[in-house]
Amino acid sequence: MKKILRINMDDLTFNEERVKSEYEYLGGRALTSQIIKDEVDPACHPLGKHNKVVIAPGLLTGTTAPCSGRLSIGSKSPLTGTIKEANSGGTASQKLAKLGYKAIIIEGAPLRSGLYVIKIDSDGVEIIEADGLKGMGTYQTAKNLRDKYGNDYSVICIGPAGEEKLSAASIAVTNIEGETSRHAARGGLGAVLGSKGIKAIIVNNGKQDKQDIISYKDEKGFKKLATDFAKKLVETKKVLTEYGTANLVEIINSLKGLPTRNFSVGQFEGAEKISGEVLRKRAIERKGRTGHPCQPGCVIRCSNVYKDEKGNFLTSGFEYETIILTGANCGIDDLDTIAKIDKFCDDFGIDTIDTGAAIGVLMESGLIEFGDREGVLNLLEEIRKLTPLGRIIGSGAEITGKIFGVTRVPTVKGQAVSAYDPRVFKGTGVTYATSPMGADHTAGNCLPGRGGYREETKDASKIKHYEGDKIQVALSSDLQVMATVCDSLGFCYFVGATLENMNIFAELVNKRYGLSITGKDMIKLGQKTLEIEREFNKAAGITEVQDRLPEFFREEKLEPSGNVFDVNENEIKKVFDFS
């Protein structure tokens, strides 16, 4: 895997470059962030021709390492103004890796306002005019392209939101079945792709698969280690396999940190109705699926297929964060309604988290009532029709708050906080506040039971998720670093951002590349990537002043715990002191 594909949308040309030696052992987020840092003017307009989109498989993507096929997409974000990496499951990343691509760099912007499809396969690369796809949802887009070019193609595409450059636009990636249910959802990267005139990138490694582009220095050793690791995951991640991420609904609710009605309380009276139990029951009853993998080689299989009462497909990968932000956070306790919202967002190509947060803010403004299911479905129609109100919502929670004069807006650096109230999950609050990506739980989610790599964070059982300043900052720091490592290797977050795994990851890298690095080196890679990201942000005008939560989290008690977010600000400033 030694090629970088550079696509210039100014003149619709491309070329393949040898990978610089500095990039050789970088992948995923480490690589996208490094390239964005090296090539993009931090002060550029995120939707202008100077921004770039970098798409990169992880360093271990394409290998037999389980759950290692995430696709990283990096850019300067139109939502946050920061550097951004969002990653997605689905099948495209493994195919890119197997075609020998370490990254795709998309730059420039076409003169004409049409749309293009980039076709990448073993025959090479083609940039194809595709104006006919204009305004098409992601599901239909993927279907059209796969009908035309073949079902062996994975599709990376945007919906109308991305074409319209809405700041909460996502980038969809097809799953095994060819559904656009997996998304690099956060930070508005779909708008950047839209600004380049790219509707879709389709990837098929076809014949190349047999050519052993994925090579190993110690193949036997690698595969043994990968198999052992997979076994361990199968054993320890059963809850995810059975209930999906929705298993968290009742847990987070019982811990009193479930965002409800625009983060005004921490427990939702309707939690049981939208729980993992109910989801699983309905998935089975309605002949959907549980334990559904989003990509080959996933042994956790946290995805599921959720159908409506009549057995029609609604969504796949019906996630906890979607359920809470568009459900509890809007006072909605009906899983079918929430699944419809999810389906819409996936199809239109917008982030469910920022959309749910935006609707919660609108509800707070009084435009519609909390719990008004019909009202929310009407709002989705506004988005679909791209009315001014729809465009506001599609631009995310922060702008929605500004336009409707709401001050209780749960965002950091312009991006919505996720489904863990930071007044209860204080380490996660530190992550929201400080992640170079804006508020993002996947950047380092400090849930109970999670430990870090340093002495004081190693023993998770000694950490209370709502107590202590230094410990919350330390744990957030450790988890942010280790999450960055996962994002860089292509590993799904659910394999675990743990110290134990850092050592396993290092061994896998060694056996693949003939290196002799350690878990500590993995940690250093994560730290370095975070530093690069923060350097970019600083040059983009984002400083540690922006590393804070909205004031209402510090000032309004969250009932029933009565907690506020009270982690000491000076301690928070030390979160990236790695020396």
Least spacing, CB of residue 403 vs a second copy, in Å: 5
86 touching a second copy, by CB under 8 A? no
CB of 411 to a second copy, least distance (A): 11
Q: How many helices (H) and strands (E) does the chain have?
A: 22, 17
Which pair of tokens denotes residue 283?
């998935």
Smaller CB distance to a second copy: residue 93 or 395?
395
- Here the tokens at position 252 are 């987070």
Q: Decide if residue 78 touches a second copy (CB under 8 A).
A: yes
CA angle (111 as vertex; 83, 387 as ends), nearest 5: 70
Q: Residues 61, 75, 77, 167: which binds a second copy (CB under 8 A)? A: 167
The answer to the question of residue 223 lying near a second copy (CB under 8 A) is: no
What phi and psi values does residue 104 have, to the nearest 5 degrees?
Answer: -115, 130
Which residue in the set 3, 6, 50, 524 belongs to the binding site for a second copy (CB under 8 A)?
Answer: 50
Pick from 2, 13, 16, 48 the residue near a second copy by CB under 8 A: 48
Q: Is 574 in the site for a second copy (CB under 8 A)?
A: no
Q: What is the DSSP letter of 212?
A: -
Output 191 or 509, the one with its CB closest to a second copy: 191
Binding segment for a second copy (CB under 8 A), chosen from 3-11, 37-45, 494-502, 524-532, is 37-45
> Is 57 a binder of a second copy (CB under 8 A)?
no
388 binds a second copy (CB under 8 A): yes
Residue with the two structure tokens 């956790």: 300
Closest approach of a second copy to the CB of residue 377, in Å:
17
Nearest residue (CB) to a second copy, 51 versus 68: 51
- The residue range among 115-123, 391-399, 432-440, 522-530 that interacts with a second copy, by the rule CB under 8 A, is 391-399
Task: Give dist(CA 418, CA 437) in Å, integer.
Answer: 13
| Ranges within 180-199 binding a second copy (CB under 8 A) | 191, 194-195
Which of 25, 313, 404, 494 forms a contact with a second copy (CB under 8 A)? Answer: 404
> Which among 254-262, 308-316, 486-494, 543-551 is the span making contact with a second copy, rule CB under 8 A?
543-551
- Name the packing angle between helices 138-149 and 335-348 (round to 10°): 60
Among 8, 24, 39, 47, binds a second copy (CB under 8 A): 47
CB burial readout 274-312, b (16+ within 10 A) else e: bbbbbbbebbeebebbbbbbbbebbbbbbbbbbbbeeee
In whole angstroms, give the CA distance from residue 307 to residue 305: 7
Measured distance CA(26)–CA(489) in Å, rounded: 8
Burial annotation 328-357 (CB, 10 A radius, 16+ → b, else e): bbbbbbebebbbbbbbbbbbbbbbbbbbbb
Q: Taking CB under 8 A as the rule, does residue 539 contact a second copy?
A: yes
Shortest spacing between CB 349 and a second copy, in angstroms:
14
43 lies in the binding site for a second copy (CB under 8 A): yes
Counting Cα atoms < 13 Å in the Cβ hemisphere of 424 gives 25
Q: Which is nearer to a second copy, 106 or 323 (CB)?
A: 106
Closest CB 45 distance from a second copy, rounded Å: 5
Provide the minimum distance between the beta carbon of 300 and a second copy in the complex, in angstroms, as a whole number. 37
Contact between residue 144 and residue 193 where contact means Cβ atoms under 8 Å apart: no
Indicate which single residue of 198, 350, 540, 558 sits in contact with a second copy (rule: CB under 8 A).
540
Task: Please tell me the distance from the alpha carbon of residue 409 to that of residue 405, in angstroms, as a whole number.
Answer: 10
Chain positions 509 to 538 lying near a second copy, rule: CB under 8 A, are none
Does the bond joining 560 to the residue before it have cis omega, within 30 degrees of 0? yes
- Does residue number 327 form part of the binding site for a second copy (CB under 8 A)? no
The CB-of-135 to a second copy minimum distance in angstroms stands at: 14
SS3 548: coil
Q: Which member of 236, 254, 387, 568 binds a second copy (CB under 8 A)? A: 387
User: Under the criterion CB under 8 A, does residue 368 sit at the interface with a second copy?
Assistant: no
Q: How distant is the alpha carbon of residue 58 from its chain centre?
A: 14
Confirm if 157 and 88 have CB atoms less than 8 A apart: no
Listed in sequence order, the residues at least 6 apart from 85 whose beta carbon sits closer than 8 Å to its beta carbon are 28, 29, 32, 33, 72, 73, 74, 437, 487
Residue 215: count of CB within 10 angstroms of its CB: 10
Is 541 among the residues that bind a second copy (CB under 8 A)?
yes
Least separation, in Å, of the C-beta of 319 and a second copy? 27
Q: Which stretch binds a second copy (CB under 8 A): 14-22, 160-168, 205-213, 417-425?
A: 160-168
**Paired strand residues for 156:** 173, 201
Q: Are 514 and 370 in contact (CB under 8 A)?
A: no
Tokens linked to 51: 């921004």
How many whole angstroms separate alpha carbon 327 and alpha carbon 129? 39
With CB under 8 A as the rule, give the number of residues binding a second copy: 37
Give yes or no for residue 385 binding a second copy (CB under 8 A).
Answer: no
Query: Which region among 161-169, 219-227, 232-240, 492-500 touches a second copy (by CB under 8 A)?
Result: 161-169
Selected from 254, 407, 516, 568, the binder of a second copy by CB under 8 A is: 407
CA 162 – CA 115 distance, rounded (Å): 11
Name the minimum Å distance from CB 417 to a second copy: 15
Give the shortest CB-110-to-a second copy separation in angstroms. Answer: 14
CB closer to a second copy, 78 vs 178 = 78
Residue 291, classed as helix, strand or coil, is: strand
Q: Is residue 564 involved in binding a second copy (CB under 8 A)?
A: no
Task: Count other Cβ atoms within 10 Å, centred on residue 416.
Answer: 33
d(CA 492, CA 269): 32
> CB 168 → a second copy: shortest distance, Å?
11
42 binds a second copy (CB under 8 A): yes
Residue 494 tokens read as 């659910």
Which CB atom, from 78 or from 276, has the smaller least distance to a second copy?
78
For a second copy, the closer CB: 518 or 546: 546
Question: In whole angstroms, how far apart are CA 301 and each of 28, 104, 310, 528?
Answer: 21, 28, 25, 31
Q: Which residues bind a second copy (CB under 8 A)?
A: 42-45, 47-48, 50, 78, 164-167, 191, 194-195, 387-389, 391-392, 395, 399, 402-405, 407, 539-543, 545-546, 548, 550-551
